[in-house]
Amino acid sequence: MDSVVRLNLEHLNNPEEAVHVVQETKSIEGAKMVARQVHHFFVSSCKGSLEGGLVNSSNGLAVFDSGVVGGTN
């Protein structure tokens, strides 16, 4: 079932189905693939926010689509 997880993540752009398959099959390797994908997405999002000037470095506040994602006020 790991190949189904990989297919959903890499080719179908369907992480929700990949997570569903991992939950149903309890696949450790599948869970690792999902975790890597989530990590990559998070790092890419943070990098894009920093480059786009969406992060206020004075308090660590990131704003996406007019919503607060995180901060330390």
Instruction: Determine the angle formed by the axes of helices 28-51 and 15-25, rounding to 10 degrees.
Output: 150
Q: Starting at the edge strand that comes first in sequence, how are the strands of the sheet with 55-56 ordered?
A: 55-56, 61-64, 67-70
What is the structure's pLDDT at 53? 65
**pLDDT by 10s per residue, the chain, length 73:** 899 999 999 999 899 999 999 999 999 999 999 999 988 877 777 776 666 666 555 555 454 444 444 444 4
What is the structure's pLDDT at 31? 94
What is the structure's pLDDT at 39? 83
For residue 55, give the nearest of 41, 68, 42 by alpha carbon.
68
What is the structure's pLDDT at 56? 55
pTM (global) more than 0.75: no
Backbone angles phi and psi of 64, in degrees to 5:
-125, 130
